[in-house]
Structure 1
Amino acid sequence: MIISTNSPYFAPYPGFFQKAFLADVFIILDTVQFPRGTTWISRNRFKNDQGSLWMTIPVWKKGLGIQRISDVRICHEGHWAKKHLASLKQAYRHAPYFEDHRAFIEKIFPFPFEKLVDLNLEIIRYLMDVLDIKTEVILLSETGIEASGDQLLIEISRHFGVSKFLSQQCAQKYLSTYLFDHAGIELRFFKPPALIYPQLWGEFIGNLSVFDLIFNCGPKSKELLTQSLAQ
């Protein structure tokens, strides 16, 4: 049995879902510290006629010190939500499968959420369903586990009684194989394979939000994700 973890990214890129697909249990780290700088938890890239289209969800940080991801609140001041929705519609109005997801986009992009994590989880669950990924998704906050670093991942593995932990290869230099071995847990590393698919607006851009994939490829999106894992 394999377990993996990830922060609750905003409209995640394909590698997030590839890792979830390879795991039996996927833990969303909703109670770890929210990064002070730029983060994929509050922004991601889409694509328009100018190239990469960045979208950032403004959140309250000033004067709040260190926050858990689960505590971060969305800033609803200004008209940025309407602008984001208009930008998405403009960018993808000619995408073959955009209309299939328009209702969901129009539901979430007024952002009827107080907490950033609630918005992100709504999107993640929707995308998991669209991609037909059956992996069990559990929030760290539901486990009661309080730890950090390697020990957090080891305690998560012990809590669910699993013997294999799947981590992003880019995290290899931060994790101690010795500690995992000592705990009787096999540490595996995963590098998301290159995923190329038909896109609008010229030259291909990789690692955009997976929305770009499903808007352009529709029902073939899961096949593209999983085929690339087998290569």
Structure 2
Amino acid sequence: RYEQPIDEVEISEPDWADQHWRSIEQAYRKAPHFATYGPKVRQLYEAVAKEKLLTQVNERFLRELSALLGLQVRITRDSDYAPQGKRSERLVDVCRLAHASRYVSGPSAKEYLEENLFTDIGTSVEWMSYGPYPTYPQLHGEFEHAVSVLDLLFMTGDQAPQYCLSRAADAPTP
């Protein structure tokens, strides 16, 4: 369903949340801060288990994990703005309607994003850099960058926000 709008994607596996949670619990139950944050994350999985749409699950996780990490971010959906157009034009319209001064995108979008459309409305385009991440102790082997934020939370506890907001050179000392 390549052309299906992302906000219409339904979850097909009814027991997905329980399966996810069991995997997380098994992988992290020995983590230093699992006893503190595990129950909160489990409650989150229980809360979203009955959701039908993937976008509802994603939004709930973004909001709850941002709150757990103490990150103060405004989260909105493009439907809050009723944007017009397709692809880059739609993104530009969301930025215009939200009065955004900058748009941050993943590096793979460089191939298709029409930057000039953003600059035409006074919105700068910034490209997300995924690393180098500050390292922290992990349960198994050498530091692995490609993990969930849950790894960071279970391993560093209340220090996690400092890792989210820092560059490798500024990272807290483990």
TM-score range relative to shorter protein: 0.7 to 0.9
Q: Does the CA contact (< 8 Å) of 1:108 and 1:119 recur in 2?
A: no
Q: Does the CA contact (< 8 Å) of 1:73 and 1:116 recur in 2?
A: yes
Q: Distance in 1 between matches of 2:20 and 2:95?
A: 38
Q: Does the CA contact (< 8 Å) of 2:132 and 2:168 recur in 1?
A: no
Q: For this pair of structures, how many residues does the alignment match?
A: 167
Q: Distance in 2 between matches of 1:176 and 1:132?
A: 34
Q: Distance in 1 between matches of 2:156 and 2:38?
A: 15
Instruction: Provide runs of 4+ in structure 1 moved above 6 Å.
Output: none
Query: Is 2:163 the counterpart of 1:224?
Result: yes
Shift of 1:182: 2.8
- 1:130-169 maps to which residues of 2 (within 5 A)? 130-169=68-107
Normalised TM-score (structure 2): 0.82
Shift of 1:114: 1.6
Normalised TM-score (structure 1): 0.64
Residue identity opposite 2:146 in structure 1? N
Q: Does the CA contact (< 8 Å) of 1:170 and 1:191 recur in 2?
A: no
Of the candidates 119, 136, 140, which is equivalent to residue 197 of structure 1?
136
SS in 1 for 2:166: helix
Compute the RMSD of aligned alpha carbons: 2.2
Query: Is 2:61 the counterpart of 1:123?
Result: yes
Of the candidates 82, 107, 110, which is equivalent to residue 18 of structure 2?
82
**Percentage of identical aligned residues:** 27
Q: Distance in 2 between matches of 1:156 and 1:92?
A: 38
Q: Distance in 1 between matches of 2:118 and 2:165?
A: 28
SS in 2 for 1:137: coil
**Larger relative contact order (C-alpha < 8 A, sep ≥ 6)?**
1
Residue identity opposite 1:105 in structure 2? V
SS in 1 for 2:165: helix
Which one is further off, 164-173 or 122-131? 164-173
SS in 1 for 2:167: helix
Q: Distance in 2 between matches of 1:81 and 1:164?
A: 35
- 1:99-110 maps to which residues of 2 (within 5 A)? 99-110=35-46
Question: Structure 1 residues 82 and 226 mapped into 2: Cα distance closer, same or farther (>3 Å)?
Answer: closer
Unmatched tracts of structure 1, length 5 or more: 1-34, 37-65
Unmatched tracts of structure 2, length 5 or more: none
Q: Distance in 1 between matches of 2:169 and 2:94?
A: 27
SS in 2 for 1:138: coil
Q: Deviations over 1:7-65 (max 9, x none)?
A: xxxxxxxxxxxxxxxxxxxxxxxxxxxx74xxxxxxxxxxxxxxxxxxxxxxxxxxxxx
Q: Does the CA contact (< 8 Å) of 1:95 and 1:200 recur in 2?
A: yes
Which residue of structure 2 lines up, in the alignment, with residue 212 of structure 1? 151
